[in-house]
Every structure is written in structure tokens, then in C-alpha cells.
């Protein structure tokens, strides 16, 4: 249904603006921008519509293989159908208004601007929330996050760092060596090599490119073309990981940044210490949906208010498929 416009309207809402199409555009931009959408299992996104919806996920069964000799009886295994519940119990909202006079006098397409701006704002909140859950529930780390379950594997602090003893990646190949150690830790947990990812703050890649020599080697980059060719960390792979960068892992005390309190210390908030995460796409499931977008006439001014509700849920399914490290640049 198209919404009629107030007198003088040209761009918004006009007869061409519909909340349904707008929400689809926002969701499309959001999914293109979000790091989390690329590193988690989103197979269940289509099963949710509203806040409070529940998705039941069947865990992958573990199949037992036994030795066979000719003539022996093969007893079939009963596969467990364990379920994990993911609840859509989190929501973010956006609301903005377009003044009648400003809209009429402007040549700007407010719908296009609002689409990209709204999607980016949702992305910041969403990425921070999900990455926080992944960091807190990482099964492989050198020190467990306070208040969370014990680690599946306790790694050496000298390999991946803690808040009390972070890895300084400004020296030689320390950053790449850390990524290689994270890959080994995932190997030890039989985590598949395909669809592995690595997420770090932007400064991590800057320091790695400046300090390292191994980054140009084929066995590290995973192909015959070094990503140093164009300076992009996401070109090809590093240490078997598809690499992503996000400001959600900056540690400057911002509102949309992942924090860490582990058994040894808390992160510094001056940007010198940062969390980095590595893992596999199967480690975490997410589902998100823009449940509501609507246009209402403001009762306080001559303007239209556009507001939307983004609902989502996340669940760490395989803690052993997430490695958390801590680095510094001091």
C-alpha cells in the first residue's frame, strides 16, 4: 500500500514510498555491510518474523566409525537428535522525521539516504552484539571470560594473548604467527578448513602489513597472488582465513564496541589493546528481520516520522570453533 503525501511533498513519502519496499532495501544494504552476516550461519533467517519467535536447530549428529571384518555384524547407530533453541529476543529501532519545508525545498532523495544510513546504524549495533556473544562464548582462548563457561581448550598466552599479556603485533611477523596459531588450534578441534574467518579491528591489518614478511608467502596467503598487491586484507586468504575488519573490535570505549573482562584483567580503553576472533561459519547461528516499518504523521511538528524495528537472535552452537585472542600495538 502506498502512502499519500502531505501537500507539497516531492520525495517522501509520496505515492511511490511503501514501508515494505523501504524495509527490504534497508535489509539488503544491512546484509551487504554487516560482517556478522558473512561469518555466521544465517540459514534460519527466513523462519522468523517477530520479536519472541523461536527457532529450533538440530545439532549435527556424531557418526561413529568402527572397523569391519568380513562376516562380522554391523550394528546401526542410533543418531541423537539434540536440539538447540535460538530465541529472537533482541531488537533495535530507528526513527527519523522529515520536515515538510526541508523536504519540499531539497533536491535530495531522502529515501535513498535513509536506506543507507539506517542500514549502517543497524549494522553497527548488530555486529557489536553478536561479536560480543561470540567473544564471551569462545571455546578456545588463553583465559576464560568472567561469568562464562569453562574453555574447551586453554591456549598458551604466548600464542594468542590475554588482556593481561596481549600479543604485540608490531614486531616482525607476530600478527601472522598469531593467526597461524589460531588455525592450528582450530585444526586440533577438527574444525573444517573451508569457511574459516578471521575478524580484527582495522589497525590490526595496518600493523601486520607494515611489519610482516610472511604475508607475501604463498603458503600464508593461500594463493599465488599476495594481497599486498592492492593492500586489501580481504583479497584472498591469510593463514587459511577469510579476513574481515570491523570497528566493533576497537577498544576506545565506544558504545558499539566489544568489551572483555577475563580472569586476568580487562582491556585498556585507549585503543592499544584489541580483541581478535577466528572461527568457522558453523560456530554461530543468527537470524534477523526488519519486523516493522511504518510512516506516521508527527503530532508535534509538520513532518512525517519513519520508524522501523529490527529483531534478531544469535546462538553460539560450537564454542570449539571460535578462538579469541588479544593483541596490542604499544
List the chain domain ranges.
142-150+158-284+318-328
Between 325 and 122, the more confident residue is: 325
Query: What pTM, to 2 d.p., does this model score?
Result: 0.79
Mean pLDDT over residues 287-300, rounded?
A: 82
pLDDT of residue 127: 92
pLDDT above 80 for 285: yes
pLDDT above 50 for 228: no
What is the CA angle 141-145-150, rounded to 5?
A: 70
pLDDT of residue 308: 81
What is the CA angle 59-61-66, rounded to 5?
A: 165
138 Rama class: left (phi>0) / alpha (psi -120 to 50) / beta? beta
pLDDT of residue 124: 87
Least confident of 33-42, 233-242, 280-289: 233-242
- The SS3 assignment for 64 reads coil
153-154/140-141 β-pairing: parallel
pLDDT above 60 for 145: yes
- What sign results for the dihedral spanned by CA atoms 277, 279, 281, 282? negative
Least confident of 47-61, 63-77, 241-255: 47-61
What is the CA angle 204-207-209, rounded to 5?
A: 105
Amino acid at each position: 500500500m502506498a502512502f499519500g503525501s502531505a501537500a507539497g511533498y516531492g520525495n517522501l513519502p509520496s505515492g511511490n514510498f511503501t514501508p515494505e519496499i523501504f524495509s527490504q532495501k534497508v535489509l539488503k544494504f544491512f546484509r551487504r555491510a554487516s560482517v556478522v552476516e558473512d561469518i555466521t550461519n544465517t540459514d534460519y533467517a527466513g523462519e522468523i518474523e517477530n520479536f519472541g519467535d523461536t527457532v529450533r536447530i538440530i545439532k549435527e549428529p556424531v557418526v561413529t566409525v568402527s572397523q569391519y571384518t568380513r562376516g562380522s555384524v554391523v550394528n546401526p547407530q542410533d543418531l541423537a537428535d539434540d536440539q538447540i533453541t535460538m530465541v529472537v529476543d533482541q531488537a533495535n529501532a530507528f526513527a527519523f522525521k522529515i520536515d515538510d519545508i526541508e523536504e519540499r525545498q531539497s533536491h535530495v532523495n531522502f529515501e535513498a539516504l535513509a536506506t543507507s544510513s539506517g542500514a549502517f546504524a543497524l549494522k553497527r549495533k548488530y555486529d557489536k552484539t553478536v561479536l560480543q556473544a561470540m567473544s564471551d562464548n569462545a571455546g578456545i582462548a588463553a583465559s576464560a571470560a568472567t561469568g562464562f563457561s569453562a574453555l574447551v581448550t586453554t591456549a598458551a598466552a604466548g600464542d594468542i594473548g590475554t588482556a593481561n599479556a596481549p600479543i604485540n603485533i608490531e614486531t616482525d611477523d607476530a600478527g601472522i604467527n598469531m593467526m597461524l596459531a589460531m588455525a592450528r588450534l582450530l585444526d586440533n578441534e577438527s574444525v573444517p578448513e573451508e569457511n574459516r574467518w578471521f575478524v580484527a579491528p582495522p589497525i590490526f591489518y595496518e600493523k601486520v602489513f607494515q611489519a610482516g614478511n610472511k604475508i607475501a608467502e604463498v603458503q600464508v596467503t593461500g594463493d599465488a597472488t599476495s594481497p599486498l598487491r592492492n593492500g586489501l586484507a580481504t583479497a584472498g586468504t591469510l593463514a587459511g582465513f577469510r579476513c574481515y575488519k570491523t570497528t566493533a573490535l576497537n577498544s576506545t570505549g565506544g558504545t558499539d564496541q566489544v568489551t572483555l573482562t577475563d580472569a586476568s584483567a580487562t582491556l585498556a580503553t585507549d585503543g592499544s589493546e584489541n580483541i581478535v576472533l577466528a572461527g568457522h561459519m558453523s560456530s554461530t547461528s543468527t537470524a534477523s528481520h526488519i519486523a516493522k516499518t511504518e510512516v506516521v504523521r508527527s503530532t508535534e511538528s509538520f513532518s512525517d516520522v519513519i520508524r522501523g524495528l529490527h529483531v534478531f537472535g544469535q546462538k553460539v552452537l560450537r564454542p570449539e570453533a571460535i578462538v579469541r585472542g588479544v593483541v596490542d600495538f604499544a
